[in-house]
């Protein structure tokens, strides 16, 4: 048995941040375990290469949900990164923090005063190296390279221009003063390359002698002595290995793997653990509960002018684009495609945006594992704050068996109504004068889908997850909370969870930026450092 001060399970977004911050002190020894390989696949680092990696079984858990009753009984793909950098190595690189009111609701609704936006913003700023430079909302000295979307495609301009025309408004910085409206997204890219959590945090720390990185290491369980986490057992290369944690075990496996690991270690709902013959260590009924995600669907239109990325279907054009990226780190390969989008309110009852858009200047079909580019453009519609709740369940006590992922999407009238509103809002945007030079006939859904009932049928037929599972080990101080505000697991000493699973409620945006913020904040907690001073600049929505 080998001893470290901290043992981290999972080298995803949170694990990479912690590995870096904890080893800044040369006296602290850290081991980080990752089930997948190193991030050597060259397509990981090409922004437009996302479609070569996001389903690659060599670097992706490729989970599948349980059949979704309200989605025509379909199981839904649930890709999750299984590689250094985790999902930040296979995602679409959108850097969006969510609305400030999301965090204020964490503080008020879940008794988490240290997690309001004023306490979180300094950690967003600490992590960020923004092209925008330093200001009250952004940092320019952090490890994470964040770029402004600048690809010169007229369809992006049309989408942004349709914001004021549609009445939904526009924003030049959705992470800044105006966190609502349509605009260009920031992205985790730097100098034309993906800036994953591994690139930003883990690679620079890998040279430190007090950090050990083990890939191909499948965690089996948290080892517990009495009511204290003493280490981890993992398998690598056919061997079972135990490591001891002198200070803490930290789970950073994400919203699927962290609750699964807790339950396999005897921490979770007593009846479920006993049903699988797992000895109970701590009865925490909230483990695996409260599963939330963003329901997502796509709409497509033909484009009447040859301005889309469909030209890249031509092998010579694709070769030229690849050569430009290799030489200059510019061109279509340097784009993460979803460079524009927005956050809007579809009704007057919501206090902040309830629908998100991702816009791409090409229409995409999937034929098996192949991608077909069409002369069109595509708009994704995502519901941001669902009232439906799912859960994660064990299938067996075998760590190699995937759990049941039961999202239970669209099981409330509220969620179904908002998705219909979202489709109508998307059509309203594309109907604006800004799109007149480019708008052809609708592809999905076609123009005959008009009534609420017809739209809802379309929603059920095509909706999937936006790949933002969260909230399955939520923090709080009530009976269903799994961790406290300090992210320590209730009832077990020296054990924390640091990843998207600790969110008490899903934020109204892509999750990656928030996960890294959570880990930055957790690092100060773990090391006993004074937290950064709270900061709350003015926003456009403030009275």
The set of catalytic residues is: 468
Count of beta carbons in the 10 Å neighbourhood of residue 417: 16
Helix or strand or coil: residue 202?
Answer: helix
* C-alpha closest to that of 298 among 461, 462, 79: 462
Tokens 């470290």 belong to 4
Q: Report the distance separating Cα 113 and Cα 499, nearest Å.
A: 19
38 neighbors 221 (Cβ within 8 angstroms)? no
Residue 27, token pair as written in the block: 């006296």
Instruction: Write a three-state SS string for 431-460.
Output: CCHHHCCCEEEEEECCCCCCCHHHHHHHHH
* C-alpha closest to that of 130 among 213, 200, 51: 200
Read off the DSSP letter of residue 65: P
DSSP code per residue over 188-201: SEETTEE--HIIII
Write down the H helix ranges in 329-475.
413-430, 452-462
254 neighbors 12 (Cβ within 8 angstroms)? yes
Residues ≥6 apart with Cβ < 8 Å to 226: none
Q: Report the distance separating Cα 121 and Cα 100, nearest Å.
A: 9
Q: Report the distance separating Cα 412 and Cα 313, nearest Å.
A: 41
């Amino acid at each position: 048995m080998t001893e470290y001060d901290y043992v981290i399970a999972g080298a995803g977004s949170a694990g990479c941040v912690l590995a870096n911050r904890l080893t800044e002190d040369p006296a602290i020894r850290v081991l980080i375990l990752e089930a997948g390989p190193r991030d050597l696949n060259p397509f990981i680092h090409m922004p437009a290469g996302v479609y070569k990696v996001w389903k690659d079984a060599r670097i992706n858990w490729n989970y599948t949900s349980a059949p979704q009753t309200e989605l025509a009984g379909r199981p839904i793909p649930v890709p999750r990164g299984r590689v250094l950098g985790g999902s930040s190595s296979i995602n679409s690189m959108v850097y969006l923090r969510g609305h400030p009111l999301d965090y204020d609701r964490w503080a008020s609704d879940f008794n988490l005063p240290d997690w309001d936006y004023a306490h979180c913003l300094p950690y967003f700023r600490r992590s960020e190296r923004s092209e925008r430079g330093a200001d009250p909302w952004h940092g320019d000295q952090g490890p994470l390279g964040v770029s402004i979307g600048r690809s010169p495609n007229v369809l992006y301009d049309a989408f942004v221009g349709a914001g004021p025309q549609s009445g939904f408004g526009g924003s030049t910085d959705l992470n800044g003063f105006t966190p609502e409206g349509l605009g260009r997204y920031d992205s985790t890219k730097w100098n034309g390359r993906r800036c994953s959590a591994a690139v930003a945090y883990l690679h620079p720390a890998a040279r430190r002698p007090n950090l050990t990185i083990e890939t191909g290491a499948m965690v089996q369980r948290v080892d517990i002595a009495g009511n204290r986490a003493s280490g981890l057992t993992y398998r690598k290369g056919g061997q079972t290995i135990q490591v001891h944690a002198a200070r803490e075990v930290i789970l950073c496996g994400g919203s699927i793997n962290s609750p699964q690991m807790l339950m396999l270690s005897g921490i979770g709902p007593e009846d479920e653990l006993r049903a699988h013959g797992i000895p109970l260590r701590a009865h925490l009924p909230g483990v695996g509960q409260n599963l939330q995600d963003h329901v997502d669907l796509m709409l497509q239109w033909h484009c009447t002018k040859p301005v889309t990325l469909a030209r890249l279907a031509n092998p010579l054009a694709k070769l030229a684009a690849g050569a430009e990226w290799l030489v200059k780190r510019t061109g279509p390969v340097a784009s993460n495609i979803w460079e524009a989008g927005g956050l809007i309110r579809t009704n007057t009852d919501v206090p902040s945006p309830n629908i998100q858009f991702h816009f791409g200047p090409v229409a995409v079909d999937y034929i098996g594992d192949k991608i077909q580019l069409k002369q069109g453009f595509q708009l994704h519609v995502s519901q941001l704050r669902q009232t439906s709740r799912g859960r994660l369940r064990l299938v067996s006590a075998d760590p190699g068996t995937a759990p049941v992922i039961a999202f239970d999407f669209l099981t409330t009238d509220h969620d179904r109504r908002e998705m219909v509103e979202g489709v109508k809002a998307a059509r309203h945007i594309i109907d604006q004068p800004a799109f007149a030079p480019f708008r052809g006939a609708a592809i999905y859904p076609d123009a005959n889908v008009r009534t609420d009932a017809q739209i809802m049928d379309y929603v059920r037929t095509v909706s999937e997850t936006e790949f933002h599972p969260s909230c399955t080990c939520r923090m709080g101080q009530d009976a269903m909370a799994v961790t406290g505000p300090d992210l320590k697991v209730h009832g077990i000493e020296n054990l924390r969870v640091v990843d998207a699973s600790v969110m008490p409620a899903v934020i109204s945006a892509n999750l990656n930026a928030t996960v890294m913020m959570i880990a930055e904040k957790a690092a100060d907690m773990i090391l006993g450092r004074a937290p950064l001073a709270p900061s709350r600049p003015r926003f456009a929505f403030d009275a």
